[in-house]
Structure formats: structure tokens, C-alpha cells
Amino acid sequence: MKAAVSPMLVRLADERATGVLIRERGALYLVDGQVVHAESPAAPGIDDLLVAGGRLPRAGWEEAIARAGARHMVGRFLVDSGRLADGELEICHLGALFDAAFFTLAPSSGPTRFRYGVSHWIGPVRPVSAAIVARESARRRALLAAIWPYPDIDSAPVVPRAPTAGRRIPGRQRRVLSLADGVRTPEAIARALGRPAFHTLIDVRRLAANGLVETPTVPTPPPALPAPLPPFGQYADPDISLLRRLRDALEESL
């Protein structure tokens, strides 16, 4: 587990702990030391992927939460009620898990804590070893850096530029550009499209590398403040003779 960003995750996996690991940008849910779910405010949840992606109506999702959320069996309810096939749920769940884990395991100086015994309402779907989650998060970070090594674009509003005439833009990237309005961030675009946030970051960074979206501008530093005046008593002595000449000149002009 050398790829793990969080040393606590290594320890919890070794302990076969059950509960939730909470970090600055998200949370990982563990059962017997394996990751069973992940959430991050930077990534669309499994509900966004299913509903916005057109696979499940919002009413169907809300019914699953109402009828099975308290029992931590939402995933099982979706399958047993015929709303999703096992394979569909598993693929979507793994997409949401790895997506949120990528942000949760990002380098951070914030606090990390673990609450034992906490389980997630989605319930059992398919656990993933903590080592695999950590390794995949590191792989994704390296891939983004190789495409466009300026991470500030990941959280900035996406501003499109006029494409060069005749340039072919892949369909996935065209759909991202269609929502680039200078207000939406990559996260907002991902939610609107019902896609994992990481996949949208890939498209945005490729668009930036091809000069099709603006990169965040570096803020202009504020003007330097004037040098502070010396404290009272540290001024040079006034030129008395100069002051007398100025006085005499003023008196003559009156």
C-alpha cells in the first residue's frame, strides 16, 4: 500500500476496521478494512450518475432512499425492485467510489479522523481493497499532470475559446464545451452531464492543452504600499535658513 496518501488508511486496512475515514475533501467507508463506498463534495454521487445519466428517474431514487435508506440497503433495493441490474449497479457504484476517492485522498493539510462502526446507506455492493483505491487515485493524479500540469483549472469556471476553423473536437469534449459558460466549474459540468468528475477533468485538461478553453488567470498582485513614515522624533532637523527665506519671500509678496 505504498501508493496510499493517508497513513491512517494503511493502518485501518491492516486492522480490518469498519467505519468511515473522514478527510478534508471527502470520506471513505470501510468494512473489514476494505473500501465499500466513497463520497466527496467535489464529485457527483451515485444518485447524480444514475439520475442525470438517464438510467433512473428521480422518483425511483427517492423511493429507494425512503424505503431502504434506514436499513442501509439502497443498492439491494434498486436491484430487487427491478430498477437496476446487478451489473449496472456495480459499474455505477465503482465509478462513483473511485471518483470520490480520488478527491478524498488528495494531498491535504486538513485533519483526518475515523469513526468506528459507521455504515453507508447504499449498503453492500462490491468492496475494493484500500491498496487498489490508493493506487488508482495516484494513477489518476499522474495522468492529469501529464495532460496539463496546471491543477488550478480543475476548480475554475470553464471559459471556452473560439476553436480554429476545421478543428475536429471529439464528442465527449464537445459536450463539455457546450456547458462551458464562464460560470460552471468542471464539477458543475460533470453533475449536469451525469458523469464522474475525474472524466470531466480529463476532458477539460485536454481542451486546455489544445487551446480550446481559457486557463485561470494569475491574479495581479496589489500595488506596493508606500514605505511607512518614520516614527515621531526620527525626522531630520528642518533647515532653519531655508524656512526663513521662504518666510521673507512670502512677506514681500503681500
Q: pLDDT (tens digit, 9 = 90+) per residue, 118-175?
A: 999 999 899 999 999 999 999 999 999 999 999 999 999 999 887 766 678 888 899 9
pLDDT in tens, 68-123: 999 999 999 999 999 999 999 999 999 999 999 999 999 887 889 999 999 999 99
- At 52 the pLDDT is 85
Amino acid identity of 13? A
96 φ/ψ angles, rounded to the nearest 5 degrees:
-65, -40
Give the pLDDT band (50/70/90) at residue 67.
very high
- pLDDT at position 240 is 55
Question: DSSP per residue over the chain, as a string?
Answer: -TT-S-HHHHHHHHHT--EEEEETTEEEEEETTEEEEEE-TTS--HHHHHHTTTSS-HHHHHHHHHHHTTTT-HHHHHHHTTSS-HHHHHHHHHHHHHHHHHHHTS---S--EEEET---TT--S--EEHHHHHHHHHHHHHHHHHH---GGGGTSPPEE-PPPTT----HHHHHHHHT--SS--HHHHHHHHT--HHHHHHHHHHHHHTTSEEPPPPPPPPPPPPPPPPPTT-SPPP-HHHHHHHHHHHHHH-
Mean pLDDT, range 2-30, rounded to an integer:
89
* The pTM of the whole model exceeds 0.75: yes
Q: What grid cell was written down for 70?
A: 434506514
pLDDT at 233: 45
